[in-house]
Amino acid sequence: MKRKRRTEAGRLSAHGRLSAHGRLSAYGLRLLLAAALMLTLAACGQTEQNAQESAAAETAGAAATENAAETEHAAATGSAADPQSAEAAGTQEAEAETESPGETETQAGPEDMPEEFMVTDADGSFEGIVVDAAMNSLIIDTGDGIWYSFSYPESGVEMELSDGLLLGMSVLVESEAGMASRIQDGPTQPAADRDVLAFAADILFACRYKSMDALANLAGFPLSVRLEDGDSLARDAEEFLALPQEEIFSEERVAAVLSADLYELTELDGGKFVLGSEEGIPNITFQRDDGRDSGFAVTGIN
C-alpha cells in the first residue's frame, strides 16, 4: 500500500518536473523565434536600405548621363538650332573687340599727319617757320604746304640761335634721315612778327587735323562763319561747335589755309591777317585781341 502511494507520488513528481521542463522549453523556443524574427527584420531593413541607395545612385547616374548628352547635343547643334543667339554672340564679341582698351580714341598728333603733309626722313638743309617744338623734336613749315619733322639724337643738337628756339621764328635745319644735327637762325626773315606767326601756326594745326575744339579755342565771339547755304553768326563756342565740321573744314578752305606762305603773311587794313585768299574766299582771318592770353583771336571763317 505504501509502495503504490510512492509510485503515484513519483509519477506526480515526474509529471511536475516534465511540465516545468516543458514550460521552460516553450519559453526558450519563443525567445529563439523572437531573436530569429528580429534578425530577419534587421536583414530585410538593411537590404531595403541598400536597395534604396542603389536605386538613388542609379537615378543620379542616369540624370547625369542625360544632362551630359543634352549638353553635348546642344554644343553640337546650338549654332544651327539658334542662329539668332549665335549671331548676337558674334555681334557682342565684335563690339568687345572694337571697344578694346585698347582701342581707345585719341587726339591726333604730328605723327598721325598724312604723308603728303609731313616729311619725317628728310636729308639736307631746310628753312622754315617753327610751328611746333618739343624736348626731342621740331616741326617747321617751309611755306609750300609741306611740314618737316625732325628728331634729336641722344648726343644732342648743335644750335646756333640768337634768341633760343621759339615758335614762329625762322630756322635752318640740317638733317640726315630726319635726324637733326644742326639748327641755326634762318637766313630769310618773315614779314610778320614772331608772335603773329606763332598764332598762325595754331590755326594751321587746327585745320590740318580738322579740330573744331582747337579752332573754337582760338576764336573770338561772336564769330562770322560762311557755310554752303550762306553766312552764319556763332555767338559762343557752343553754337560754333554745333556747326557742321565738314563745312567748316571743307577741302577748299583747308587747302587755301595750308597753302599760305607764312614768310609773306602781313597785316592788312584794320589790323587783320589772312590765311588763304586775301581777295576772295575761302580763308580764315584773325587780328590782335589784347583781352586774350595769346594776344590774337580768329575773327572770321570765310
Residue with cell 503515484: 8
State the Cα–Cα distance between residues 144 and 128, nearest whole angstrom: 10
* Among 163, 185, 207, residue at a domain's last position: 185
Residue with cell 530577419: 40
170-173, Cβ contacts within 8 angstroms, sequence gap of 24 or more:
170/127, 170/128, 170/129, 170/130, 170/263, 171/127, 171/128, 171/130, 171/138, 171/140, 172/125, 172/126, 172/127, 173/125, 173/126, 173/127, 173/128, 173/138, 173/140, 173/148
* Among 185, 217, 247, residue at a domain's last position: 185
Residue range 263-274: mean pLDDT, rounded: 93
Q: Judge whether 94 lies within some domain.
A: no
Residue 203 shares a structural domain with residue 287: yes
Q: Which candidate, 170, 177, 123, 129, places its Cα nearest to that of 153?
A: 177
Other C-beta atoms closer than 10 Å to the C-beta of 45 total 10
Residue 225 shares a structural domain with residue 181: no
Q: Is the pLDDT of residue 74 over 50?
A: no
Q: Judge whether 282 lies within some domain.
A: yes
* Among 147, 168, 185, residue at a domain's last position: 185
Q: Judge whether 23 lies within some domain.
A: yes
Note the pLDDT of residue 124: 97
CATH of the domain at 293: 3.10.450
Q: Judge whether 81 lies within some domain.
A: no
**What is the arrangement of strands in the sheet containing 219-227, beginning at the earlier edge strand?**
230-234, 219-227, 296-301, 283-288, 272-276
CA 184 from centre of chain: 43
Other C-beta atoms closer than 10 Å to the C-beta of 46 total 10
CATH of the domain at 178: 2.40.50.140
**pLDDT (tens digit per residue) in 120-163:** 999 999 999 999 999 999 999 997 878 999 999 999 999 999 99
Task: Report pTM.
Answer: 0.62
Number of domains in the chain: 3
Highest mean pLDDT of the ranges 9-18, 77-86, 234-243, 255-264? 234-243
Residue 180 shares a structural domain with residue 206: no
Q: Is the pLDDT of residue 216 over 90?
A: yes
Q: Is the pLDDT of residue 243 over 80?
A: yes
DSSP state of 295: S
Identify the domain containing residue 41 by its residue range. Answer: 1-50
